[in-house]
Amino acid sequence: MRYFLLLFLVLGAFSLTAQKVVITGYAPDYIGQEMKVYRIKDYLSDQVALISSATVEEDSTFTVSFFSEEIEKVMLKCENNRSHMYIEPGAKYNVYFPERNKYEPKLPSGNVVEMTFYDMDSTDINYKILRFQRWYDYFVGGTYHLRNDKENVEFAAYLDTFKTNVHNYYLPDTSENSFYLKTYIRYSIAGLDNINTIAERGPYEKYDFYLKKYPVCYNNDVYMDYLTSFYEKTIPRLSKTTNEKFYSGVIQSSPTLIFNALGLEYTLTNPKIRELVMIQSLAEAYYSNEYPKTNIETILDSLSQNCLFEAHEDIAKNVLDRLTDLVPGGKAPNFVLHQDESSPKTLTDYKGKHLYIQFLDPRIESNMRELEIMKDMHERYKDYVQFLTVYPKYEDTPESSLEALKTLPWDAFEIDRDHTILERYQIVNFAQFVLIDANGNVVASPAPKPTPDGEYDTIDRTFYYLKQQMDQGN
């Protein structure tokens, strides 16, 4: 009885904070495909997490649902196309998810499409943001050219009038989503203050006016865009003394020394902002040759477990994951693959030799043609490199492709379209390849393909030099 009561209390507490969000929609160009919804973990790492998915039915409809505790921006993705929307806890949405604009080039990372909302209430956060955005775009489109005029007095005057009109219009809004909306508006306009005008504020004034006294809004993309842009490349702009203290803190792997050093900068007197900027600056320093990467990894790992502000622990962890995920020389993510009654295979089963993983779409003819080239490579390099083919399961996969995949002289696994290996290896397009060394470390991701790329490079060259090196070693 005690355990039942505890479970009831836990579920009751959850239901008071998180509410169900339902998105129904139409996607006639994606019948049979998986519509996925991703939550943005944070706006410093830009990592996302899959929170819901559903198959687009034959009548082109889909329904996805998930729980949310606050207003947030989510991403809808189908095949390789994506769109964003804001959601409110407990809300229901009806949308149309279109095909890629045929006049835009097809991008390997996927194309952004513009969703249409049906029957959207005027009190919804999407409606309010879209309405403000239309006003904002109209202002910028009609006045932006004036910024180049001598002293641009006219633009500054128009900007002041725009700010006043927006403030007066939205001041009476006291609805539940007004704080999120007004934050969005405030920092959209703050971006206009970065335009060089005679009335432009200096960095200290911008800090006082936009950041110092206001709460950190982790879930508001426009606020976070402003903050990360404001503090971008902070380290090179520090005084010589502060820069040296920052460097010393990295060398000693001490978050405390770094935090205290950054406190010497006026625009970092707010401790919450300072800790967040410390994480951002460490990420920027990671790509520099001036700081040891292992020390930065140690510092971020420490911060992921012990920050002054709890919200920053997850951010530090996400940033560390982003920096070390699939980085050449970094440890390759583990996976578990199994098919039919066969024993599961993990990354450990492929250690001892280099591993070349092919992620393909069996419905795409060009993907399948690469298999013939790989068979020849496998024959020549099988003593030096292991091959592995991974492909999603589709109802419309041609039988000829399935038969070809079953007869490969190396392991091939059919997986569900939401298998974790696709997310862990950041597979955004097919065909995509990853090369891992004998110790389980990433060599290249994405790795060269069997067919020539734009620079006429193929994986064959890599295999050839690997063979030479190993033969000489023996």
Least confident window among 29-33, 289-293, 375-379, 387-391: 289-293
Reduced 3-state DSSP string for 66-113: EEECCCEEEEEEECCEEEEEEECCCCEEEEECCCCCCCCCCCCCCEEC
Residues 130 and 116 in one domain: no
Q: How much is the pLDDT for 202?
A: 83
Q: Considering the domain boundaries, does residue 9 fall inside one?
A: no
Handedness of CA 261, 263, 264, 265 (dihedral sign): positive
Peptide bond into 89 cis (omega under 30): no
More confident residue, 157 or 75: 75
Examine the fold and report which residue of 120, 145, 176 is the final residue of a domain before the chain moves on: 120
Find the mean pLDDT for residues 423-443.
89
Whether the predicted pLDDT of 434 surpasses 60: yes
More confident residue, 474 or 92: 92
Residues 39 and 156 in one domain: no
Q: Could you tell me what percent of the chain has a pLDDT over 90?
A: 68
Among 137-151, 389-403, 460-474, top mean pLDDT goes to 389-403
Whether the predicted pLDDT of 15 surpasses 50: no
Examine the fold and report which residue of 92, 120, 148 is the final residue of a domain before the chain moves on: 120
Whether the predicted pLDDT of 95 surpasses 90: yes
- The CATH code of the domain that includes 61 is 2.60.40.10
Residues 93 and 133 in one domain: no
Whether the predicted pLDDT of 4 surpasses 50: no
Q: Considering the domain boundaries, does residue 331 fall inside one?
A: no
More confident residue, 9 or 322: 322
Q: Considering the domain boundaries, does residue 371 fall inside one?
A: yes
Residues 340 and 443 in one domain: yes
Q: How much is the pLDDT for 436?
A: 94
Q: Considering the domain boundaries, does residue 412 fall inside one?
A: yes
Whether the predicted pLDDT of 10 surpasses 50: no
More confident residue, 456 or 24: 24
Find the mean pLDDT for residues 243-253.
95
Residues 458 and 341 in one domain: yes
pLDDT band at 334 (very low <50, low <70, confident <90, very high): confident
- The set of residues, in sequence order, having a beta carbon less than 8 Å from that of 82 and lying 6+ positions away, is 75, 76, 110, 111, 112, 113
Residues 246 and 285 in one domain: yes
Whether the predicted pLDDT of 108 surpasses 60: no
Whether the predicted pLDDT of 272 surpasses 70: yes
Q: How much is the pLDDT for 182?
A: 97
Whole-prediction pTM = 0.75
Nearest to 328 by CA among 381, 386, 287, 295: 287
List pLDDT tens digits, range 210-235. 999 999 999 999 999 999 999 999 99
Average pLDDT of the residues of the chain: 89
Length of the chain measured in residues: 474
Q: How much is the pLDDT for 306?
A: 94
Q: How much is the pLDDT for 149?
A: 58
Residues 356 and 441 in one domain: yes
Find the mean pLDDT for residues 121-127.
96
Whether the predicted pLDDT of 201 surpasses 80: no
Residue the block writes with tokens 């007869």: 407
Instruction: State the Cα–Cα distance between residues 325 and 374, nearest whole angstrom.
Output: 27
Examine the fold and report which residue of 324, 355, 384 is the final residue of a domain before the chain moves on: 324
Q: Considering the domain boundaries, does residue 398 fall inside one?
A: yes
Let me know: does 101 contact 113? Beta carbons within 8 Å: yes
- The set of residues, in sequence order, having a beta carbon less than 8 Å from that of 185 and lying 6+ positions away, is 132, 166, 170
Q: Considering the domain boundaries, does residue 8 fall inside one?
A: no
Q: How much is the pLDDT for 1?
A: 42
Residues 154 and 247 in one domain: no
More confident residue, 157 or 222: 222
Q: Is 287 exposed, middle or buried (0-12, 13-18, 19+ CB in 10 A)?
A: exposed
Residues 107 and 144 in one domain: no
Q: Considering the domain boundaries, does residue 1 fall inside one?
A: no
Find the mean pLDDT for residues 397-413.
94
Whether the predicted pLDDT of 109 surpasses 90: no
Domain extent for 108: 19-120
Residues 79 and 131 in one domain: no
Enumerate long-range contacts of 446-454, CB under 8 Å, 24 or more apart.
447/356, 449/370, 450/370, 450/373, 450/374, 450/377, 451/369, 451/370, 451/373
Residues 304 and 364 in one domain: no
Q: Considering the domain boundaries, does residue 240 fall inside one?
A: yes
- The CATH code of the domain that includes 437 is 3.40.30.10
Residues 168 and 79 in one domain: no
Domain count, the chain: 4
